[in-house]
Structure 1
Amino acid sequence: MFARRTQIALALVTSLGAASARADTIFVANENGQSLSIIDSQTSKTTTAAIPISPHNVDVTADGRLILATGMPAAQSGSHAAHGSAGGQLVLMDVSGDAPGAPQVVAVGGHPAHVVPDAQGHFAYLTDAETNSVVVVDIPERRVAGRIPVQNYPHGLRLSPDGNLLAVANMKSDTVSLVDTRNPEKAMHISVGKRPVQVAFDRSGRILVVSLNGEDKVAIIDVDARKLLRKASVGNGPVQVYVTPDGKTALVANQGSAAKPDNRVSVVALDDGKLIRNVTVGKGAHGIVIARDGRTAYVTNTYANTISAIDLGSLSAGKSYPVGKGPNGIAAR
């Protein structure tokens, strides 16, 4: 029996070692650098790709071949906070080869913040704070296919795991809009708390976590019942949030402010809202993503021009990688 247990333990260690050796590719939106950083986590090799916008957010299609970035034209503004007549853009870039392809631009107008593609790579959904809507872009045709009205100043958004529900954080309405992607004219709005910035579904799609930047808390929502279950205290100025693959915890990036930056990622238990741990990263923790193998989280440190890796097994900060100026959104494949 002892020998058998030893064999199992050794096999597990070998398996974990092999899995951890797999490199992640990380994509970072450098808003003040008008560029994207593409990082190989294993070798630390970083490729910087100049793009014609000040990118606030970035995401990658499910097949890992295309990255999408949103922002305002670079010549107009180096700041996401600025609004203007030139109109926002979606930049698409093929990253299936050894080097990133040339950026392709879709004019979406308004003031886009976040973007999320569907699982099929057919449509991308972008929040537009100027028109209080979600812009729907046909990815293969590189054109705007429509708009979905939501509430006041939409910012972060994510799709449910089955792709049937789009959750949108409306910063100035203190609400989250839940949009049925099969019937988008029917949306429900849930009051969640002050200044919601971003949302995250658990793997089942039945729990939604919302960062409340104006309360230093997160809201935990029962999606089926469309109601608030509880709130949990986190750090100062929480921005982005991500739920771990096991559905038990949420990781919350706390940015604070330029005058008083926070440098922590709060780990919150979803069943009771208790704070498990704060993991120290860099100044101005903003964007967060969990790699597809579920072992590592990556966080952008807006005021430090770096990203930090977090080992989700030990809940400890690991390697730091330099990136461009003002990193905000982040994605991984």
Structure 2
Amino acid sequence: MGFVYVANRGDDTVSVIASSTNSVIATVPVGDDPLNIVTTPDGKFVYVGNIDDNTVSVIATSTNSVIATIGVGILGVSVGIVITPDGKFVYVRNGIDDTVSVIASSTNSVIATIGVGNSDFPVGMVITPDGKFVYVANGDDDTVSVIATSTNSVIATVPVGDDPDNMVITPDGKFVYVANEDGDTVSVIATSTNSVIATIGVGILGVSVGIVITPDGKFVYVGNGATVSVIATSTNSVIATIPVGGSPVGMVITPDGRFVYVANRFDATVSVIATSTNSVIATVPVGDVPLNIVTTPDGKFVYVANGDDATVSVIATSTNSVIATVPVGDSPVGMVITPK
């Protein structure tokens, strides 16, 4: 069933939840203020970005212990972190010094530091499915930097909208969709030319935009102030606007693409959208200030990190009801689920 790793900002730990029992089986001390978290594709290691001491903790999932602590750049108030599809390299966005640190997972050491654009609140990073390029949102200079992983150098800087934040990439790697937080738009970058081919007006985006793409790449869902905009990638136009709860910051799509689960930060709820009708079919009460949301690989369960009550809510997707509330550490935000 896999394991859920939860970064607890308030007490500098990572809680490990066994999805088979929905209980915490380990609590792993990490660095100061852990935020974002990723797993290697094989599930053997978890990388945790600690924003207050500018480090990345590496957890071996076989023992649930930290095997390395890696110094990176000055992270700032957030951290973007992605891993190549082969699991060989981890890219970490350093907000204060406007760089990206490249970690070789074989040695857990920094092998390159790449200068990118300016962003005091770095979040948005995506990597192409073939692992050849990393796209980095630079919120303060309204650009996206494109890094070639073969040389670990910036090969293009793409002007986008005002304050680019989170991003998604199509499954075929041909297009990147960039949510521009202050511009209330989504820029579409063609990766073949690294140029913007469309700018799409959406709702009022707000802070920490939720954005996801369906597994077939046909639709992009963007969280606005209290709605979700649906973009058809065939026309790059908004085809639906769906009312949800207040401040939909966390979003996840089930692996079959049938449902979008939306964590509404201000309402302590999760809205469930059916992609076949683009309508809300259920509203699920969860804990206080839900911030992040992930789904199991089989799509049977959704885990919601409740930032203000130190819990994770577990939703059964068959009934859209909470089947467990798991106590974790203080201020949980980042989550990742390992493969089976």
- Larger deviation: 39-48 or 180-189? 39-48
Change (3 A) 1:87 1:71: farther
In 1, Cα distance between the equivalents of 2:109 and 2:101?
A: 10
SS of the residue aligned with 2:123?
strand
SS of the residue aligned with 2:195?
coil
- Aligned match of 2:333 in 325, 328, 332? 328
| Number of equivalent positions | 297
For the 8 Å contact 1:58–1:115, the answer to whether it is kept is no
In 2, Cα distance between the equivalents of 1:37 and 1:92?
A: 24
Task: Confirm or deny that 1:312 pairs with 2:321.
Answer: no
- Larger deviation: 279-288 or 140-149? 140-149
In 2, Cα distance between the equivalents of 1:78 and 1:39?
A: 28
For the 8 Å contact 1:306–1:322, the answer to whether it is kept is yes
SS of the residue aligned with 2:268?
strand
Deviation of the 1:31 alpha carbon: 4.1
Q: Which residue of 1 aligns with 2:30?
A: 50
> Amino acid of the residue matched to residue 269 of structure 1?
A
- Aligned match of 1:177 in 156, 174, 187? 187
In 1, Cα distance between the equivalents of 2:273 and 2:261?
A: 7
Deviation of the 1:121 alpha carbon: 4.4
Deviation of the 1:206 alpha carbon: 0.7
For residues 57-85 of structure 1, the C-alpha deviation after alignment (integer angstroms, 9 at most, x for no partner) is: 3344544456555675537888549x984
Higher helix share: 1
Task: Confirm or deny that 1:209 pairs with 2:189.
Answer: no
Task: Confirm or deny that 1:198 pairs with 2:210.
Answer: yes
Task: Confirm or deny that 1:110 pairs with 2:87.
Answer: no
Task: Percent identity, please.
Answer: 29
- Aligned match of 2:5 in 18, 27, 41? 27
For the 8 Å contact 1:299–1:307, the answer to whether it is kept is yes
In 1, Cα distance between the equivalents of 2:150 and 2:25?
A: 30
In 2, Cα distance between the equivalents of 1:71 and 1:85?
A: 14
In 2, Cα distance between the equivalents of 1:205 and 1:141?
A: 29
Change (3 A) 1:177 1:34: farther
Q: Which residue of 2 aligns with 1:12?
A: none
In 2, Cα distance between the equivalents of 1:68 and 1:246?
A: 27
Matches within 5 A, 1:37-186: 37-42=15-20, 44-51=24-31, 54-64=33-43, 67=46, 72-74=51-53, 79-80=77-78, 85-87=96-98, 110-111=119-120, 112-137=122-147, 147-186=157-196
For the 8 Å contact 1:66–1:93, the answer to whether it is kept is no
Deviation of the 1:241 alpha carbon: 1.4
Deviation of the 1:268 alpha carbon: 1.5
Change (3 A) 1:113 1:143: same
In 1, Cα distance between the equivalents of 2:162 and 2:301?
A: 34
For the 8 Å contact 1:244–1:294, the answer to whether it is kept is yes
Deviation of the 1:251 alpha carbon: 0.7
Q: Which residue of 2 aligns with 1:285?
A: 290
Change (3 A) 1:314 1:242: same
Deviation of the 1:36 alpha carbon: 4.5
TM-score (norm 1): 0.74
Deviation of the 1:45 alpha carbon: 1.8
Deviation of the 1:227 alpha carbon: 0.6
> Amino acid of the residue matched to residue 25 of structure 1?
F
- Larger deviation: 279-288 or 39-48? 39-48
Unaligned runs of 5+ in 2: 55-73, 80-93
Deviation of the 1:158 alpha carbon: 1.7
Q: Which residue of 2 aligns with 1:16?
A: none
> Amino acid of the residue matched to residue 289 of structure 1?
V
Task: Confirm or deny that 1:245 pairs with 2:224.
Answer: no
In 2, Cα distance between the equivalents of 1:240 and 1:150?
A: 23
For the 8 Å contact 1:130–1:153, the answer to whether it is kept is yes
In 2, Cα distance between the equivalents of 1:55 and 1:90?
A: 17
For residues 246-301 of structure 1, the C-alpha deviation after alignment (integer angstroms, 9 at most, x for no partner) is: 32321100111xxxxx2111002234332211112211111112222222212111
For the 8 Å contact 1:305–1:323, the answer to whether it is kept is yes
Change (3 A) 1:207 1:279: same
Change (3 A) 1:63 1:230: same
Change (3 A) 1:27 1:270: same
Deviation of the 1:218 alpha carbon: 0.5
Task: Confirm or deny that 1:236 pairs with 2:216.
Answer: no
Change (3 A) 1:229 1:68: farther
